[in-house]
Structure 1
Amino acid sequence: MSTTTSYSTAKDGAAQDGTARHVADSHDLIRVHGARENNLKDVTVAIPKRRLTVFTGVSGSGKSSLVFSTIAAESQRMINETYSAFVQGFMPRMDRPDVDVLDGLTTAIVVGQERLGANPRSTVGTVTDANAMLRILFSRLGQPHIGSPQAFSFNVGSISGAGAVTIERGGRTVKERREFSVTGGMCPRCEGTGRISDIDLTQLYDDTKSMNEGPFTIPGWGSDGWYGRIYRDSGFFPPDKPIRDFTKRELDALLYKEPTRIKAEGINVTYEGLIPKLQKSMLSKDREAMQPHIRAFVDRAVTFATCPECEGTRLTEAARSSKIAGISIADACAMEIRDLAKWVRGLDEPSAAPLLASLQHTLDSFVEIGLGYLSLDRPSGSLSGGEAQRTKLIRHLGSSLTDVTYVFDEPTTGLHPHDVTRMNDLLLRLRDKGNTVLVVEHEPETIAIADHVVDLGPGAGTAGGHVCFEGTVDGLRASGTVTGRHLDDRAALKESVRTPTGHLEIRGARTHNLRDVDVDIPLGVLVVVTGVAGSGKSSLLHGSIPRDAGVVAVDQTPIRGSRRSNPATYTGLLDPIRKAFAKANGVKPALFSSNSEGACPACGGAGLIFTELGFMETVSTVCEECEGKRFQASVLEYRLGEGDDARDISEVLAMPVAEAAEFFGAGAARTPAAHAILTRLADVGLGYLTLGQPLTTLSGGERQRLKLATHMAEKGGIYVLDEPTTGLHLADVEQLLGLLDRLVDSGKSVIVIEHHQSVMAHADWIIDLGPGAGHDGGRVVFEGTPAELVAARSTLTGEHLADYVGA
């Protein structure tokens, strides 16, 4: 590790003063002065360039606000401003962060945990350009030769026709009609998706009802909703006639009619049959990225099957017939990438040497970063957050750029302890090439390699936003901050484990890389499923456990939300609150929604006025009419509660969860439905969040726990959780373990996919998959108690857990 520049460190867990640290050469620093994004409270820091700086602190302390919303955002905004005004008109507009001074910025490359997109046509190969290189390779070397690279693309169909072109002839411009033909590789049967679908009409509507009676059972299609009203007023069928009595023509109009302009409730709108409408609005999206209730509907209503014509490869027969050394492009994309890398390395074709070298580098980068078990045909939407982040990193590994600022959001997410060392090596390599590396992280092993640490806190939300410590890792350890105190935490093995109340049998599991796995999962206890990334953990639980009424699954799909979405709307908390206000004041519940009748007319319920200034940044100002409260003045006159404790709706939405739980738990404002939701939010450690805080300002860990709190309301005997420690500070893991214990002690069965060793040590039973990833995994390599796993040391997990607990 390179030598660290010396900095003065904070005493008693707090920064010495509010000024940036003095260093002889200010060009070697990124200086932030007076940062106030989200919950930051005039934060001032000096970050050394060409060093590895790790930002620590509890979830919600302000790490992402400082690193992503301030430093990285301003770097990207300033780069955008170097383009012409014309080009900027086509680029996303970015507001300047709320900060007084930002000096010493360099070009920022953000490698975050955002999913790679929900487009079902997007694969690992398409998002990394590996597919593009393969298509060129097969168009040059494949036999028989079938055409250009697009002949191997499952996103390009074969079309022909004629059109007018404008050309110069004899000094004048003329138009000519010319024939054209495009030969693409898209399978015509499945249109390049690799699967076909069949829709169960009984899941779309109740055919005993008429349009007036609201027949649709599709989420969001109620009789009072926009879709319900369009179909009712379409004029293509009588609104009071039950669907089962429709004529053939009327039923065809309901199900299949092509887009047609109609007038509904005096408004010109486009009517479209149910089937094509659902194909576009729901079925064209990746299932893994859908909201839970939409996904549940799709699972009920749609049956998916592998396309029989292309056998799931997405490609035409011609594209599959062209081969290199006996391998088609479909075969190549289906290989594990590490096997594909070996195959490419064996190709000796001087005419394609530069292409082969570039493809080889990309494939080797996958292997180097621990993703060699993936295949290029893997849908990108199915990757975990950690896999997605590492996939984005691939294009930067061989870059010759230096003096770049790389920004990482918990790069160890989803990594087995065995793989963390490899990620640390990559971060250090980027630094040693002369780059500035900024990492938001909770993993002690990654914090340990930092040249410089910035610890934020001391708490979360309004209790955070301060720099508690700046300096070395040893200084952090001795600082007395929350992070410093917990940095060397080690959980002990439980002295006794619970006795199972039964078993969930899984037989012959073959999802993805699983090899006819037979396993009995104990019920009534805390079960942790472990193994390296790609060993088959998610395939075993999400692919083999039946999703019946008794199973509540909380996976890693991101929660959706605009700046109008907040914890109250996402969890359904706002509904009982609105009803409580309405009942107490004798008015309609809609008045207490800032997205409905109660919205401030000046800002439309946003609380802010946005002024567009062309290619310059959009200016947002607090609405003068409602002073940012989002509601009409008349609505704020209605109050809930008695005497001095009474609150209006804006004051309730400004409450932290913990305060709101007390407010709705007793007295005149007592609302059991609201109190139950608030209790669940507090149980997952979100007591500091305000009810009306925009979801867009929540950290990744906060969003994960918000989803967990929502799923806890579902009635089920088995909870399946996918890496619930994601985004959790070391100090918060203990609270999560307490929550898992409470779930089990209440009679639930809890099954957790997890890499965090304190969760492993706390388990009653461990199922370890492996021994490796991809085709080297897919087997159960250990079943038993954590103590037995530590004593055996027979697997990678066992070795790391033994070292962790000091056995």
Structure 2
Amino acid sequence: MTPETERIEVYGARVHNLKNIDVTIPRDSLTVITGLSGSGKSSLAFDTVFAEGQRRYIETFSAYARGFLSKMERPDVDKITGLSPVISIEQKTTNRNPRSTVGTTTEIYDFLRLLYARAGEAFSYITGEKMVKYTEEQILELILTRYAGKKIYILAPVIRNRKGHYKELFEQIRKKGFISVRVDGEIREILPGMKLDRYKNHSIEVLVDKLAVSNKFEDKLRSSVRTAMKQGSGLILIQDTVSGEVRHYSRELMCPTTGLSYNEPAPHNFSFNSPLGACPKCKGIGTIDSIDTEKVIPDPSISIAKGGIVPLGKEKSNLFFWQVAAICEKYGVTLQTPIRDIPQDAIDEIIYGTDERLKIKNESLGNSNYMVSYEGIAKYIDMQQDDDASASAQKWAGQFISTSVCPECNGQRLNREALHFKINGKNIAELSHMDIQQLHDWIVDAGDHVSEKQQLIAEEINKEILSRLRFLIDVGLGYLSLSRASASLSGGESQRIRLATQIGSQLVNVLYILDEPSIGLHQRDNHRLIDSLKKLRDSGNSVVVVEHDKDMMLASDYVVDMGPFAGQKGGEVVFEGTPEEMLKKNTLTSNYLNGKIEIKIPGKRRKGNGKTLIV
């Protein structure tokens, strides 16, 4: 390195309260910028060094690309030399997306999805049996073994539990040369114009062949199995003509008892951000917003007329009240009846609507009667939450809504097929709910409990997962789970997650700037954080940390102490050098570090007044 590239040099920085300062920051080192709050630490690190690095990066874009970005003003500084590409890791919980979790942010969940797609074992969500799949030769061998000497039907499923009359389908099957089908378990000849009850669910299989199983007829059996596979899209049914027992065989993943089949899994099948993996009810959020009847009817002792149903308010002459009055009349009560005395069925109809058309009386039109449909208060409230509704309407509707765990996926975000792929008895959602330390230990231990094939498939994927988990543990986040929502993290937790992600990215020749990463961290984990920062430095990067922590300062390679005081009385560099040199100086920070000044524990504590504050 030339002298110019061995250090970052800032000349004449005047941002905010900085007083035209010059600062030298050695490259490939861990530098701590410390000092009183308001002394200019962040102004130097973020508003000067980072801002200039970001501005220079954007200047590398084409004029066309820069046109899409807001113009970045040059920070008030004469010159900065030796500047590398800069990444800022601040204390901000910026991601409020409910789909963002610790797992998605760190990309660990992406590797888990890949792991389950490649090494997961499928189980039926109906019977719990392990799913199987066969080649054509295996199916033939199983039939010859299981049904030797027996007569069987070879069936190809074409419709599975769906409504329709299927007149056209039967005609297509007949034109292909087949003369019989099995409809809802009954063998029937295909007759011209044949059709079913269109409003009922039906299962239809083509009868491909009826034969006695014997090695002598193996070629005929093979041909029939191949034809059935083609007609049934890889799935066939074999029925014993005497006992009626039916077994399923498939080239795809399939339950041998019920015939339930899954598609071959891919990583997106385990993503709650994909329609192919998300729970259909909550759309992958894990929670649902629904009407809270206790908020709609907070006091059942009040009548509807007096405002007992809050969204309706007090009785007035409008369509809603005419409809509610019609429901009350049907159940033998009135709008003046206390809500607690109204039958629950009537309350349910008022809130959730009814399929019946209501006969209402409109006094303003001469007591004329007419029939109307009624969708319910819940439907109206739901409409006010649409994206195109006004902000005030959405706020009004929100007061009657409560968030609860999705009853279909139990908060696991995925559909039932995805939740029934398992490794060592655990599905991907169960791993996501483990804390990171527990998950790390489980993956290490799982190798002894899975097949040799699974071990071989998972080896490289597990290396990536364990590496990222260790980074999170090293920065003191072993207590989090991958399912933890990003929006619920503190600023310090978010910052350390981003730090762990950067360590895992293995970038080099980068300048990292961090804002008090030790905040919120238990003292026992502080050394792990320091080791992580040193690991980032040893990878060929420069690390600048705005920090007050004593251990961090003493473990650093270089310290810049800002002061001497805060605000207008700050903005100066009172010391820059190694921690050892700093301990010998006479600054406010060094005097606290070397023990010349200390905060004494008060000998006498003030007594409380006996009152409490409940939060």
Flag whether TM exceeds 0.5 (same fold): yes
Does the 8 A contact of 1:124 with 1:376 survive in 2? yes
Residue of structure 2 equivalent to 1:119: 97
Q: Residues 155-174 of structure 1 correspond to what in structure 2 (within 5 A)? A: 155-157=273-275
Question: Which residue matches 2:49?
Answer: 71
What is residue 498 of structure 2 aligned with on the other side? 392
Alignment correspondent of 1:349: 455
Q: CA deviation at 1:142?
A: 1.9
1:320 aligns to 2:411 (yes or no) = no
- State the alpha-carbon separation in 2 of the partners of residues 260 and 393 from structure 1: 38
Q: Which residue of 2 aligns with 1:551?
A: 614
Does residue 1:40 correspond to 2:146, yes or no? no
Aligned residue number for residue 423 of structure 1: 529
Give the Cα separation in 1 of the matches to 2:433 and 2:312.
42
Secondary structure of the equivalent of 1:156? coil
Q: Distance in 1 between matches of 2:463 and 2:98?
A: 29
Instruction: Give 1:600's aligned residue.
Output: none
d(CA) in 1 for partners of 2:416, 2:386: 36
CA contact (8 A) 2:286 2:413 kept: yes
Does the residue aligned with 1:119 lie in a helix, a strand or coil?
coil
> Is the 1:254–1:274 contact (alpha carbons within 8 Å) kept by the matching residues of 2?
no
Letter in 2 for 1:113: Q
Number of aligned residue pairs: 396
Corresponding residue of 1:457:
563
What does residue 132 of structure 1 align with? 110
Shift of 1:382: 1.6
Q: Check the 8 A contact 1:255/1:273 in 2, yes or no.
A: no
Residue 435 of structure 2 aligns to which amino acid in structure 1? E
* Match in the other structure for 2:86: 108
Following TM superposition, by how much is the alpha carbon of 1:312 offset from its aligned partner in structure 2, in angstroms? 1.1
Which stretch has the larger CA shift, 339-348 or 146-155?
Answer: 339-348
Q: CA distance change for structure 1 residues 249 and 358 in 2, over 3 Å: closer, same or farther?
A: closer
Partner of 1:151 in structure 2? 269
2:26 and 2:315 mapped to 1: Cα distance?
A: 68
In 2 relative to 1, CA 301–67 (structure 1 residues): closer, same or farther, beyond 3 Å? Answer: farther
Change (3 A) 1:209 1:408: farther
Counterpart residue type for residue 39 of structure 1: N
CA distance in 2, matches of 1:387, 1:260: 33
TM-score normalised to the size of structure 1?
0.45
**Residue 194 (structure 1) aligned to one of 286, 304, 308:** 286
Q: Deviations over 1:548-601 (max 9, x none)?
A: xx535xxxxxxxxxxxxxxxxxxxxxxxxxxxxxxxxxxxxxxxxxxxxxxxxx
Counterpart contact for 1:256–1:274, Cα < 8 Å: no
Alignment match, 2:63:
85
CA distance in 2, matches of 1:196, 1:500: 44
How far did residue 77 of structure 1 move? 2.3
Conserved in 2, the CA contact under 8 Å of 1:155 and 1:185? yes
What secondary structure does 1:364 align onto? helix
Compute the displacement of 1:475 (Å): 3.8
For 2:2 and 2:540, locate their aligned partners in 1 and report how far apart those are by CA, in whole Å. 19
| SS, match of residue 310 in structure 1 | coil
CA contact (8 A) 2:474 2:532 kept: no
Map residues 341-420 of structure 1 onto 2, 5 A cutoff: 341-345=440-444, 346-347=446-447, 348-420=454-526
C-alpha displacement at 1:128, in angstroms? 0.7
Q: Note the C-alpha offset of 1:252.
A: 8.3
- Aligned CA-pair RMSD: 3.3
The letter for the 2-side match of 1:66 is: L
Give the distance between the partners of 2:484 and 2:421, measured in 1 at CA: 22
One-letter code of the match for 1:409?
Answer: D
Asked which structure has the greater RCO (Cα within 8 Å, sep 6+), the reply is 2
Q: SS of 1:56's equivalent?
A: strand
Task: Provide Cα deviations, 1:173-220, integer angstroms capped at 9, x if missing partner.
Answer: xxxxxxxxxxx222222222222233535899793599xxxxxxxxxx
Which residue identity is paired with 2:433? Answer: A
How far off is 1:278 after superposition?
4.4
Partner of 2:29: 51
SS at match of 1:388: helix
Contact 1:34 1:43 in 2 (8 A): yes
Amino acid corresponding to residue 281 of structure 2 in structure 1: R
Structure 2 counterpart of 1:195, one-letter code? T
- Deviation per CA, 1:50-83: give whole Å up to 9, x if none: 2221111111211111111111121122223223
Quick check: 405-414 or 196-205, which moved more? Answer: 196-205
Given that 1:451 and 1:473 are in contact with CA atoms closer than 8 Å, whether structure 2 keeps it comes out as yes
Alpha carbons of structure 1 residues 249 and 344: separation in structure 2 relative to 1, 3 Å: closer
User: Is 2:75 the partner of 1:97?
Assistant: yes
Change beyond 3 A, Cα 1:63–1:202: farther
Q: Secondary structure at the match of 2:5?
A: helix
Aligned match of 1:535: none
Separation of aligned partners in 2, 1:208 and 1:462? 60
What secondary structure, in the 3-state scheme, does the structure 2 residue paired with 1:47 have? strand
Tell me if the contact between 2:29 and 2:542 (Cα under 8 Å) persists in the aligned partners: yes
Conserved in 1, the CA contact under 8 Å of 2:476 and 2:521? no
Distance 1:35 1:318, change over 3 A: same
Deviation of 1:315 after TM superposition, in Å, equals 1.4
Measure, in 1, the Cα distance between the counterparts of 2:491 and 2:592: 25
Cα distance between partner residues in 1 of 2:389 and 2:22: 55
Structure 2 CA distance for partners of 1:305 and 1:259, relative to 1, 3 Å = closer
What SS does structure 2 have at the residue aligned with 1:359? helix
Residues 1:335 and 2:313 aligned together: no
Paired-residue identity, %: 39
Q: 1:272 to 1:451 in 2, by over 3 A?
A: closer
Deviation at 1:328, TM superposition (A): 0.4
What do residues 674-726 of structure 1 show as CA deviations (whole Å, max 9, x unaligned)? xxxxxxxxxxxxxxxxxxxxxxxxxxxxxxxxxxxxxxxxxxxxxxxxxxxxx
Larger CA Rg, structure 1 vs 2: 2
Letter aligned with residue 423 of structure 2? I
TM-score (norm 2): 0.58
Q: CA deviation at 1:403?
A: 2.6
Post-superposition shift, 1:311? 1.0
8 A Cα contact 1:258 1:273, kept in partner: no
Shift of 1:102: 1.0
Please state whether the residue corresponding to 2:417 is helix, strand or coil.
helix
Q: Which whole-Å deviations, capped at 9, do the CAs of 1:647-696 have from their partners, x for residues lacking one? A: xxxxxxxxxxxxxxxxxxxxxxxxxxxxxxxxxxxxxxxxxxxxxxxxxx
State the alpha-carbon separation in 2 of the partners of residues 106 and 420 from structure 1. 27
Paired letter, 1:495: G
Match for 1:333: what amino acid?
S
1:128-168, CA deviations, whole angstroms, 9 ceiling, x for partnerless residues?
Answer: 111111112112222226532222111222xxxxxxxxxxx
Query: Distance in 1 between the 2:476 and 2:376 partners?
Result: 56
> Hey, what's the Cα distance between the residues in 1 that align with 2:51 and 2:43?
10
CA shift digits 1:210-243 (9 cap, x unpaired) = 9xxxxxxxxxxxxxxxxxxxxxxxxxxxxxxxxx
- Structure 2, unaligned stretches of length 5 or more? 123-261, 299-309, 317-372, 448-453
Aligned partner of residue 33 in structure 1, secondary structure: strand
Which of 445, 450, 463 aligns to 2:551? It is 445
Q: Which residue identity is paired with 1:371?
A: L
